[in-house]
Structure 1
Amino acid sequence: MTTTTTDATKRPAAEPVEAVAAAAAASAAEPKRAKTALMHPNVKDGWFRETTAMWPGQAMSLEVDEILHVERSLFQDVLVFKSKTYGNVLVLDGVIQVTERDEMAYQEMIAHVPLNAHPNPRRVLVVGGGDGGVLREVVKHPSVESVTLCEIDEAVPRVSRMYLPTLAAGFDHPKVTVHIGDGFEFLKDKENEFDVIITDSSDPVGPAESLFQDTFFGLLHKALTPNGIICSQGECIWLHLDLISRVLATTRSIFATSSYAYISIPTYPCGTIGFILSSKEANKDFATPLRTLSTEEENQTYRYYNKELHRAVFQVPTFVRKAVEPKNE
Structure 2
Amino acid sequence: MDALKKGWFSELTDLLPGRCFSMQVEQVLHQEKSKYQDILVLKTKSHGNVLVLDGMVQCTEFDEFAYQEMISFLPLCSHPKPQRVLIVGGGDGGVAREVAKHPLVEAIDQVEIDDRVVEVSKKYLPFMAKGFDSPKLNLHIADGFKFMEEHVEYYDVIITDSSDPIGPAVSLFQKSYFELMKRALRPGGIVCSQADTFWGHLENATSMRKHCRDVFAKVGYATSYVPTYPHGQIGYALGSLNENTDFESPVFQLTQQQRKEMQLRYYTTEVHKAAFALPAFVVDAIEADECKD
Match of 1:130 in 2: 91
1:125 alignment partner, SS class: strand
Whichever residue aligns with residue 280 of structure 1, its letter is L
Among 220, 226, 232, the residue aligned to 2:187? 226
1:130-187 deviations in Å (ceiling 9; x for gaps): 0000000001112111101110101111000000101010101111001111111211
Match of 1:192 in 2: 153
User: Does 1:91 pair with 2:52?
Assistant: yes
Match of 2:171 in 1: 210
Separation in 1, partners of 2:78, 2:125: 29
Q: Normalization by structure 1: what TM-score?
A: 0.86
1:226-280 deviations in Å (ceiling 9; x for gaps): 1000000010111211122222222211111111011111000000000000011
Among 282, 285, 290, the residue aligned to 1:320? 282
Structure 1 residues 103-118: aligned runs within 5 Å? 103-118=64-79
Query: Is the CA contact (8 Å cut-off) linking 1:244 and 1:324 kept in structure 2?
Result: no
2:77 alignment partner, SS class: helix
User: Does 1:281 pair with 2:242?
Assistant: yes
Shift of 1:42: 1.8
> Where do 5+ consecutive residues of structure 1 fail to align?
1-39
- Range with bigger deviation, 89-98 or 287-296: 287-296
User: Does 1:169 pair with 2:130?
Assistant: yes
Whichever residue aligns with residue 327 of structure 1, its letter is E
Whichever residue aligns with residue 270 of structure 2, its letter is E
Shift of 1:296: 3.2
Query: Is the CA contact (8 Å cut-off) linking 1:184 and 1:211 kept in structure 2?
Result: no
Shift of 1:283: 4.0
Whichever residue aligns with residue 313 of structure 1, its letter is A
Match of 2:271 in 1: 309
Whichever residue aligns with residue 258 of structure 1, its letter is V
Query: Is the CA contact (8 Å cut-off) linking 1:184 and 1:210 kept in structure 2?
Result: no
Separation in 1, partners of 2:252, 2:212: 26
Separation in 2, partners of 1:144, 1:83: 35
Question: Which of 1 and 2 has greater Rg?
Answer: 1
How many residue pairs are counted as aligned between the two chains? 290
Separation in 2, partners of 1:138, 1:172: 12
Query: Is the CA contact (8 Å cut-off) linking 1:48 and 1:64 kept in structure 2?
Result: yes
Give me the identity figure in percent.
50
Among 199, 208, 219, the residue aligned to 1:247? 208
Among 246, 257, 266, the residue aligned to 1:296? 257
2:290 alignment partner, SS class: coil
Shift of 1:91: 0.2
Query: Is the CA contact (8 Å cut-off) linking 1:106 and 1:265 kept in structure 2?
Result: yes
1:205-228 deviations in Å (ceiling 9; x for gaps): 110011111211111000011100
Whichever residue aligns with residue 125 of structure 1, its letter is L
Separation in 2, partners of 1:86, 1:139: 25
Among 110, 117, 126, the residue aligned to 1:149? 110
Among 38, 42, 59, the residue aligned to 2:20? 59
Moved over 6 A (4+): none
Shift of 1:294: 1.9
> Where do 5+ consecutive residues of structure 2 fail to align?
none
Whichever residue aligns with residue 122 of structure 1, its letter is Q
Whichever residue aligns with residue 279 of structure 2, its letter is P
Among 254, 261, 265, the residue aligned to 2:222? 261
Whichever residue aligns with residue 305 of structure 1, its letter is Y
User: Does 1:82 pair with 2:46?
Assistant: no
Separation in 2, partners of 1:299, 1:115: 17
Match of 1:181 in 2: 142
